[in-house]
Amino acid sequence: MIRKANESDIQIIYELSKKTKAYMLKSGLDQWIGDYPKYDSFYQDYLKSGLYVYVKEDIILASISILEENDPPYLEIKWDKNHSLVIHRLLVDPDHQKHGIGMEMFNKAIDLTNSGYLSLKVDTHPDNHKMQGLILKMGFQYKGYIESINRLAYELIV
């Protein structure tokens, strides 16, 4: 089940992000480096009502932030649409990957665009081939490279 995160979920999400980050680094992916993502990243997403969790048997297995577009680096790309939602910080517990949870989280983001948004946007690290595969599988189109943050940008017209 996917639901909006509550404030008590944030520490759990943060701990899950550290586990996911360690798994990514062990796999040779340095997408999340330094102290990113911080606890405050998730807290700010929660305050904007954009933080969601995937829960199974009362255990949080994944989270995603779905926010209105406002990222300055996104100005580097020529997008097809403006009034959009953006996916940030999708993470799935490494012990529960490859079970369709990421796809369900993307579908939640797509559902949220039905409230008047024209597209859904997402970016990922050039070396994150798993995420790129999921993004393309979900029907997104590649829009370009965001040089300032070393990310590949994608858009889904809804």
Indicate the number of domains in the chain: 1
Identity (one letter) of the amino acid at 13? I
Taking alpha carbons only, the member of 53, 54, 135, 51 closest to residue 88 is: 51
Q: Look at residue 84 in the predicted model and tell me its pLDDT.
A: 96
What is residue 36's DSSP assignment? P
Q: Look at residue 36 in the predicted model and tell me its pLDDT.
A: 81
Q: Which domain, by its residues, includes 13?
A: 2-157
Q: What CATH number is given to the structural domain containing 31?
A: 3.40.630.30
Q: Are strands 151-157 and 59-68 parallel, antiparallel or unpaired?
A: unpaired
Phi, psi of 34 (to 5 degrees): 65, -135
Could you read off the pLDDT of 7-52 as tens digits, one per residue?
A: 999 999 999 999 988 887 787 767 776 778 999 999 999 999 999 9
pTM, two decimals, is 0.94
Mean pLDDT of 144-154: 96
Q: Look at residue 71 in the predicted model and tell me its pLDDT.
A: 85
- Residue 87 in 3-state DSSP? strand
Confidence of residue 66 (pLDDT cuts 50, 70, 90): very high
Could you read off the pLDDT of 129-140 as tens digits, one per residue?
A: 999 999 999 999
